[in-house]
Structure 1
Amino acid sequence: MPFSKIFLGAGTALILASSAAYAETELTVYTSIEAVDLDRYKETFEKAHPDIKINWVRDSTGVMTAKLLAEKDNPQADVVWGVAATSLLLLKSEGMLEPYSPKNVEALDPRFVDGDKPPSWVGMDAYVAALCYNTVEAGKLGLTPPTSWKDLTKPEYKGHVVMPNPNSSGTGFLDVSAWLQTFGEEEAWSFMDALHENIAAYTHSGSKPCKMAASGETVIGVSFEFPGAKAKTSGAPIDIIFPSEGSGWEAEATAIIAGTANLEAAKTLVDWSISKEANEMYNVGYAVVAYPGVAKPIENLPDDVADKMIKNDFEWAANNRARILKEWQKRYDAKSEPKS
Structure 2
Amino acid sequence: MKSWFASCLVAISLATPGIAYAQKTKVTIYTALENDQLGPFKASIEKAVPEAEVVWVRDSTGVITARFLAEKDNPRADMVIGLAASSLLAFEKAGLLETYKPAGVDKLKEPFRDPKEPYTWTGMDAYLGVVCFNTAEAKGVPVPSSWKDLLVPGLKGKIVMPHPASSGTGYLMVAGWLQTMGEAEGWKFMDGLHENIAAYLHSGSAPCVQAARGERVVGLALDMRGASEKTKGAPIEVIIPKEGVGWEMEASAIVKGTKNLAIAKKVADWGATKEASELYSKTYAIVAAPDVKNTPPNYPAGAEAGMIKNDLSWMAENRDRVLAEWSKRYESKAAPKN
What TM-score results when the alignment is normalised by the length of structure 2?
0.88
Q: Report the secondary structure of 1:168's partner residue.
A: coil
Cross-structure match for 1:167 = 165
Q: Which residues of 2 match residues 282-293 of structure 1 at below 5 A?
A: 282-293=280-291
The CA deviation at 1:121 is: 0.5
Cross-structure match for 1:312 = 310
Q: Report the secondary structure of 1:306's partner residue.
A: coil
Cross-structure match for 1:204 = 202
Q: Tell me the distance in 1 between the aligned counterparts of 2:73 and 2:332.
A: 33
Structure 2, unmatched stretches of 5+, are none
- Percent of aligned positions with the same letter in both sequences? 51
The CA deviation at 1:9 is: 7.0
Cross-structure match for 2:46 = 46
Q: Tell me the distance in 2 between the aligned counterparts of 1:75 and 1:328.
A: 33
Cross-structure match for 2:20 = 21
How large is the Cα RMSD of the aligned pairs? 2.6
Q: Report the secondary structure of 2:188's partner residue.
A: helix
Aligned amino acid, residue 206 of structure 2? K
Q: Which residues of 2 match residues 12-161 of structure 1 at below 5 A?
A: 18-23=17-22, 24-139=24-139, 142-161=140-159
Cross-structure match for 1:322 = 320
Assess if the C-alpha contact under 8 Å between 1:101 and 1:117 holds in 2.
Answer: no
Assess if the C-alpha contact under 8 Å between 2:176 and 2:245 holds in 1.
Answer: yes
Q: Report the secondary structure of 1:251's partner residue.
A: strand
Can you list the C-alpha shifts for 1:75-102, whole angstroms capped at 9, x where unaligned?
3332221222122111100111112111
The CA deviation at 1:326 is: 2.3
The one of 292, 295, 303 aligned to 2:293: 295
Q: Tell me the distance in 2 between the aligned counterparts of 1:29 and 1:217.
A: 40
The CA deviation at 1:269 is: 2.2
Assess if the C-alpha contact under 8 Å between 1:229 and 1:299 holds in 2.
Answer: yes
Q: Tell me the distance in 2 between the aligned counterparts of 1:147 and 1:175.
A: 16
Q: Tell me the distance in 2 between the aligned counterparts of 1:21 and 1:9.
A: 18
Assess if the C-alpha contact under 8 Å between 1:166 and 1:325 holds in 2.
Answer: yes
Assess if the C-alpha contact under 8 Å between 1:28 and 1:57 holds in 2.
Answer: yes
1:265 aligns with 2:263: yes
Cross-structure match for 1:224 = 222
Assess if the C-alpha contact under 8 Å between 2:147 and 2:243 holds in 1.
Answer: yes
Q: Which residues of 2 match residues 328-339 of structure 1 at below 5 A?
A: 328-339=326-337
Q: Report the secondary structure of 1:243's partner residue.
A: coil
The CA deviation at 1:3 is: 8.7
What TM-score results when the alignment is normalised by the length of structure 1?
0.87
Shift in CA distance, 5/339, structure 1 to aligned 2, threshold 3 Å: farther
Shift in CA distance, 208/57, structure 1 to aligned 2, threshold 3 Å: farther
The CA deviation at 1:320 is: 1.6
The CA deviation at 1:44 is: 2.9
Structure 1, unmatched stretches of 5+, are none
Assess if the C-alpha contact under 8 Å between 1:88 and 1:121 holds in 2.
Answer: yes
The one of 249, 261, 279 aligned to 1:281: 279
Shift in CA distance, 97/204, structure 1 to aligned 2, threshold 3 Å: farther
Paired positions, count: 337
Q: Tell me the distance in 2 between the aligned counterparts of 1:147 and 1:171.
A: 20
Aligned amino acid, residue 180 of structure 1? L
The CA deviation at 1:263 is: 2.5
Assess if the C-alpha contact under 8 Å between 2:238 and 2:300 holds in 1.
Answer: no
Q: Tell me the distance in 2 between the aligned counterparts of 1:212 and 1:55.
A: 37
Aligned amino acid, residue 81 of structure 1? I
Q: Report the secondary structure of 2:160's partner residue.
A: strand
The CA deviation at 1:236 is: 1.9
Q: Tell me the distance in 2 between the aligned counterparts of 1:260 and 1:201.
A: 44
Shift in CA distance, 310/10, structure 1 to aligned 2, threshold 3 Å: same
Shift in CA distance, 56/235, structure 1 to aligned 2, threshold 3 Å: farther
Aligned amino acid, residue 269 of structure 2? D
Q: Tell me the distance in 1 between the aligned counterparts of 2:48 and 2:306.
A: 36
Q: Tell me the distance in 2 between the aligned counterparts of 1:71 and 1:162.
A: 37
